[in-house]
Chain A
Amino acid sequence: MIEFVQHLVNGLSLGAIYALIALGYTMVFGILQLINFAHGDVYMLGAFIGMYTSRAFHLADHPSVWALLLILFTAMTGCAIVGFLIERIAYRPLRKSPRINLLITAVGVSLFLEFSGQLVFGADPKFFPQVFSINADFSFGELKINPLQVLVFGISITLMTILQTIIYKTRAGRAMRAASFSHDLASLMGIPTDRVISFTFMLGSALAGAAGVLVGLIYPKIEPLMGSMPGLKAFVAAVLGGIGNVTGAVVGALILGLSESFLVGYGYPTFRDALAFALLILILLFKPTGLFGSKRTEKV
């Protein structure tokens, strides 16, 4: 029982991180129908921006909540800028070209970030500074919970609530929803679609940047290729929940995080990376629209 709860907690904090990444995938897919392969690498950049910020200000010497908030802020801002640039330079010129070209470009951007990351940061893993630490574990009898995991879960939920408010309560959010319904109709209504798309990329990338920092807190080993696997898994999570659907992405990510944590916990760690893809194939076979997705009819 204790073991079960332990895996449950691990799964939830892992799922929360996947959720932050999956949200960016699902929003970009909703508005552009593009799988932004580079999204996982934006998450990697978030972790590295966090690391360099903390080195620059020597934040690891005085761990505190403010230090954590500062690196969260810089990582999110930095990633938002990166997301903006990616969309502006690589995707916008291809708005009217065939989808396969856009997809190839996305893969190109992803690999470019990964391997130039290897050149700039070095290929060997780096240690993510401990900018925030709580020494005592929360313990309930035999059950010990790492407070960082609770913190990560809390921050993720807060960010997702903010995102939900932006999407459903603000003008910018309404513009995003309109643009994802139809670019042409939205622009006829006076919505600057290009700007809305930029905004969506920045929002999604900021969340990925936050995920990068949070992952650094729990698993403090970061490297330039760390983004590709979680990125793909987050995409699977988004498909599981119904791609283009914000709530679906969160639920899908939590399901994926939990099932991965139980798989590892109950003795099949080598199949961890295969699980997500097996899940993906099953969803595509039986319910391609995902758990919450609605069927879109394709128009000519």
Chain B
Amino acid sequence: MSHGLKTLWPWLAAVAGVAVFHFLLTDRLDPYYFTILMYAGINATLAVSLNLVCGFTGQFSMGHAGFMSVGGYVSAYITTLIAASHPNWIDDPNIAPTVFACVLMIAGIASAIMGYLVGLPSLRLRGDYLAIVTLGFGEIIRVIVLNVDAIGGARGMPNIPALSGFGWVFGILVLTIFVTWRLIHSRQGREFLAVREDEIAAEAMGVNTTSAKVRAFATGAFFAGVSGALFAHYLRYLNPQTFDFNRSFEVIIMVVLGGLGSLTGSVVAAFFLTILKELLRPLQELTKLDFRMVIYSALLIVLMLTRPNGLFGTKEITSYFKGKFGKGDSA
């Protein structure tokens, strides 16, 4: 019991922190900074969920934006339907959170099902195929969205109810980190790590490698779908162009920069890169050239050549903290 509490208190503190900041910041912070903060939170959720696939299971997915768009469009479609038929479910502050929680859940499940369908054929084979198939999947989703008129097609989907907020985005972020953390320290997670380290050896030890990879992949897709739903209900407008390959690539670079296999690293890198993007904006407007992708791709190559483990490697920030105060417990 005491052990349970001891491992739980950082999470409870994080939830309390989110609640406090929710009341401190909402409607008080400058809207521009608030938006950046929200994007950073959504990106961090994406990065953490991709890290489960890339960092902890060693599979390379390039279609995270695709899963995000599945979640975003599914949830937006449902809430606009609800807003049309039962407007009070959206407007009533007592009911809306429950409705939104259900919608987030559905968005996640829809994405996870897509993840299962995409992952199953490609994950039976070695990792490289997953990269191409997920890349293709992102494109296919985009083509489909463009051709479906019910969700706006190329015009995009406007007037999505504003349900998402600081508490939601950062609450989900904490939840994602919590679930991923607990997952990788469970029996399931050990299987993921075994697959990453050596697939053949893992198989010899009785791990069903295909199943482990598909489970990790579907879980990653679930949270990508949820963050897509958060994004849709914050921006209130969806466009197929938002979820192109560059979006997937941004998430990949966040994961790689933070360290494949470091959850805190992903969060730090997501915040860093989201803010960097805004800082680079004046330069871009001045020169009329898009340096961002050049910088990102060069950064990726240089990182791989010089520090392939990213900023934090497989370590968490907390482990540095522990080392410093000599509590050294091997987590």
Determine the residue in chain B with the shortest Cβ distance to A109: B301
Contact flags (1/0) for A155-183 with B, using CB distance below 8 Å?
00000000000000000000000000000
**Residue numbers in A under 8 Å from B291 (CB-CB):** 119
A119 with B252: in contact, given A104-B304, A107-B300 (CB under 8 Å)? no
Interface residues on A, range: 35 or more
| B149 within 8 A of partner (CB) | no
Interface residues of A in 269-300 (CB under 8 A from B): 270-271, 273-274, 276-278, 280-281, 284-285, 288, 298, 300
Q: Which of B118, B122, B139, B297: most chain A Cβ within 10 A?
A: B297
Determine which residue in A109, A118, A281 has the highest number of CB atoms from chain B within 10 A of its CB, and name it: A281
Flag whether A2 is at the interface (Cβ < 8 A). Answer: no
B160 to chain A, nearest CB (A): 26
Q: A100-B260, A105-B305, A107-B62 are in contact. Are A276 and B143 (CB under 8 A)?
A: no
**B123-152, CB < 8 A from A:** 124-129, 131-133, 135-137, 139-140, 143, 146-147
**Residues on the B chain within 8 Å of A34, using CB:** 128
- CB distance B136 to A277 under 8 Å? yes
Task: Assess the A288–B125 pair: CB atoms within 8 A.
Answer: yes
Question: For chain B, what secondary structure do more than half of its interface residues adopt (helix, strand, loop), or is it mixed?
Answer: helix
- Chain A neighbourhood of B127, CB < 8 A: 99-100, 103
* Shortest beta-carbon distance from A240 to chain B in Å: 12
User: Counting CB contacts under 8 A, is A133 at the interface?
Assistant: no
A238 to chain B, nearest CB (A): 11
Point out the residue from B121, B122, B128, B200 that lies within 8 Å of A103, measured CB to CB.
Answer: B128
Question: In the assembled complex, which residues on chain B have CB atoms less than 8 Å from the CB atom of A139?
Answer: none
**Complex interface: chain A residues within 8 A of B129 (CB):** 239, 284, 288
B171 beta carbon closer than 8 Å to chain A: no
> B153 → chain A, closest Cβ, in Å?
11
**A135 contacts chain B at the CB level, 8 A cutoff:** no
Given A107-B62, A277-B140; A284-B124 close (CB under 8 Å): yes
- Residue A101 at the B interface, CB < 8 A? yes
Does more than half of chain A's interface fall in helix, strand or loop, or is it mixed? helix
The 5 closest A-B pairs by CB, nearest first: A277-B136, A108-B300, A111-B297, A112-B297, A115-B293
- B43 CB, nearest partner CB in chain A, Å: 18
| B143 CB contacts on chain A under 8 angstroms | 270-271, 273-274
Q: Is A187 an interface residue (CB 8 A)?
A: no
Indicate whether B298 reaches chain A with its CB closer than 8 angstroms.
yes
The proximity string for A residues 110-124 relative to B, scoring 1 for CB distances below 8 Å and 0 otherwise, is 111011101100010
Q: Which residues in A have their C-beta under 8 angstroms from that of B5? A: none
**Which residues of chain B come closer than 8 Å to A112, judged between CB atoms?**
294, 297-298, 301
Specify which chain A residues have a CB less than 8 angstroms from the CB of B139 in the assembled complex.
273-274, 277
* Contacting pair B58 A98 (CB below 8 A): yes
Residues in B whose Cβ lies below 8 Å from that of A270: 143, 146-147
- Whether B121 pairs with A281 at a CB distance below 8 angstroms is yes
Evaluate contact between B304 and A105: CB separation under 8 angstroms: yes
Q: Which of A103, A115, A123, A284 contacts B60 (CB 8 A)?
A: A103
**Quick check: B140 and A274 within 8 Å, CB to CB?**
yes
Which residue from chain A places its CB closest to the CB of B118 in the assembled complex?
A281
List 11 contacting pairs A-B, 8 Å CB cutoff, sorted by A: A34-B128, A35-B131, A93-B305, A104-B304, A105-B304, A107-B131, A111-B300, A112-B301, A116-B294, A284-B121, A285-B121
B133:A281 contact, CB within 8 angstroms: yes
Q: Is the CB of B132 within 8 A of A100?
A: no
Interface string of B100-134 (1 = CB under 8 A from A): 00000000000000000010011011111101110
In angstroms, how far is the closest chain B Cβ from the Cβ of A166?
Answer: 26
| Interface residues as binary, B287-304 with A (CB distance below 8 Å gives 1, 0 otherwise) | 001110110111011001
> Is B300 in contact with A105, judged by CB distance below 8 angstroms?
yes
Q: Please tell me if B249 contacts chain A, counting CB pairs below 8 Å.
A: yes
